[in-house]
Amino acid sequence: MSAEIKERVLAYFREKSKGEKKMFYIKDVVKGLPDVDRHAVHEAVKELLDEEALKYWSSGSTTYLMLAEYFPKDA
């Protein structure tokens, strides 16, 4: 896995999380890196989840991704 792709994924989250919105669909992330293969983005996200830099947030029916630092403390 390219460290560069992981860094770009993280940069996407940091940039997009500057506003009110902190949670994103995986498809948002893929769209945010249009020059990177979709599967490579998925793999990078999975590694970042394993490293706990990102976290899943789920309503039960839909799953979102967010930076671990913004994950609600009561959740």
Partner 1 sequence: MTDSKTPLLDELEKGPWPSFVKDMKQAAEKKPAAADLLNQLELSYKDRIGHWKHGGIVGVKGYGSGVIGRYSDRPDLFPNVRAFHTMRVNHPTGWFYKTDALRKLCDIWDKHGSGLTNLHGSTGDAILLGTTTDHLQPCFDDLSEAGFDLGGSGSALRTPSACVGPARCEWACIDSLDICYQATMTLQDQIHRPMFPYKFKIKVSACANDCVAAIARSDLAIMGTWKGRIQVDPAEVRAYADAGLDIRGEVRDLCPTKCMEWSEADRTLVIHDGDCNRCMHCLNVMPKALRPGKERGASILVGGKAPIVQGSLLSWVIVPFMKLEPPYTELFDLIARIQDWWDENGRSRERLGELINRLGMRHFLKAMGLPAVPQMVKHPRTNPYVFFWPEEIDKKEVK
Closest approach, Cβ 58 to partner 1, in A, equals: 4
Contacts to partner 1 from residues 30-49, by CB under 8 A: 38, 42, 45-46, 49
Residue 61 in the binding site for partner 1 (CB under 8 A): yes
Q: Is 27 in the site for partner 1 (CB under 8 A)?
A: yes
- List 56's β-bridge partners, or say none: 65
Q: CA 31, 63, 74: angle at the middle one, nearest 5?
A: 125
Q: Does 20 bind partner 1 (CB under 8 A)?
A: no
Contact between 21 and 64 under an 8 Å Cβ cutoff? The reply is: no
Distance CA 7, CA 21 (A): 20
As measured in angstroms, the least distance from the Cβ of 18 to partner 1 is: 21
